[in-house]
Structure 1
Amino acid sequence: RQRKQDLPDVIRVACGMKVMVTQNVKMDLDITNGAHGTIVDIWLNPDEPPISTVQPLIQLKYMPVCILVKLERTRAT
């Protein structure tokens, strides 16, 4: 499988997981390298097959469309 932006083929993510920004994204809003946050939602690819809510761990067929993170500190309003 191809790697996407230096990510391994498989990564584990979950809502509630603590994450850290590793590149300066938007410096004037403090979305910068080293900023900490928490994953609050994962938007699945529309082509993803239905997911069982019974299984505690699932492997997605497609990369998520978006992973939403609430940063601990930011200048965003």
Structure 2
Amino acid sequence: MPRTIDQQIAEAENRVQRLKTKKRTKDTRRKIIVGATIIPAAFKDKKLARYLVRLLETSLTRAVDKQDAAPLLDELRKFIGDDQA
């Protein structure tokens, strides 16, 4: 029995949703890879650490993001030491 127009539309919408999910998954993975690369590098390079601290301080706007990033920022500031300028 041929599929109805409504069934075809539903299948197309499901496909679009799966593609959107796949895109979000790839985007999340890319962010994880970048973070996993940058964070350890920042603990080896004070200039990079200072830049990362400034970037996070100015970029994070949501309270939950600031709270989650606070321990990392504290560790980076300790690594930088007194020469935070």
Tell me the TM-score range normalised by the shorter chain: under 0.3
Bigger radius of gyration, 1 or 2? 2
More helix by share: 2
TM-score (norm 2): 0.21
More strand by share: 1
